[in-house]
Amino acid sequence: MPKTKQGTLQITEQLIVDRVFVIRGLKVMLDKDLAAMYGVQTSALNQAVKRNSLRFPADFMFQLSQKDFDSLISQSVISKNQSGRGGTRKMPYVFTEQGVAMLSSVLNSETAIQVNIQIIRVFIKMKQLLLDNKDLYLKIERIENKLTAHDEDIQNIFVILKKLLQPPPIKRKAIGFPYPNKN
């Protein structure tokens, strides 16, 4: 994570967006990323959460399954080395937007409050972006449907025009004497 010259973590909107992942259809943030942003150890963050477990129901926070964890590894989010140094020894916890909001009540430092405000604002922007894009998507779909209908109409017009431009040959009586068939 990017740090300032003083060694403190520089929290930018892009940094937050880069740390939001979709797991089980939910936008979540890893405990280790949140701990780094708040300036605390991951174990301290998780311990504060455990002391206040009633504030964190399953839709606010959950521990990753092996399948979820493997998905994050494939996205190069977590170290692949689980044996010994540098790897994750137990499955990380992840926090939904509501869980992140609740963290401000258990991590009562000014840094945690300020970072929480930034994170919640990013989640709000992401929701708004999705809503804006949903409207745009629906408009594009309507235009596409209209164009498809127009394409079908235009193709029908071309079929009719081709028939008009190439009238069927008129059968005429042969001129002259009939020629007898020789078999």
What domain count does the chain have?
Answer: 1
Tell me what the mean pLDDT of segment 128-136 comes to. Answer: 77
Domain range enclosing 53: 13-131
> Which DSSP letter does residue 118 get?
H
Instruction: With a cut of 50, say whether residue 112 has pLDDT above it.
Output: yes
Q: What is the pLDDT of residues 36-75, one digit of tens each?
A: 888 889 999 999 999 999 999 999 999 998 888 887 776 6
CATH number at 119 reads 3.10.260
Residue 55: inside a domain, yes or no? yes
Residue 94: inside a domain, yes or no? yes
Nearest alpha-carbon partner for 71 in 31, 25, 34: 25
Residue bearing the bigger pLDDT, 86 or 119: 119
Residue 176: inside a domain, yes or no? no
Give the C-alpha separation, 120 to 111, whole Å: 14
Interior angle at CA 88, CA 3 and CA 117, nearest 5 = 45
pLDDT band, very low/low/confident/very high, at 6 (cuts 50, 70, 90): very low
Surface-to-core class of residue 29, CB atoms within 10 Å of its CB (0-12 exposed, 13-18 middle, 19+ buried): buried
Q: How confident is the model at residue 5, as a pLDDT?
A: 43
Residue 35: inside a domain, yes or no? yes
Residue 20: inside a domain, yes or no? yes
Residue 1: inside a domain, yes or no? no
Answer for the pair 69, 79: CB distance below 8 angstroms, yes or no: no
pLDDT band, very low/low/confident/very high, at 18 (cuts 50, 70, 90): confident
Residue 168: inside a domain, yes or no? no
Residue 149: inside a domain, yes or no? no
Question: Can you spell out the DSSP letters for 43-109?
Answer: HHHHHHHHHTGGG--TTTEEEPPHHHHHHHHHTT-S-S--SSTTS-SSPPEEE-HHHHHHHHHHS-S
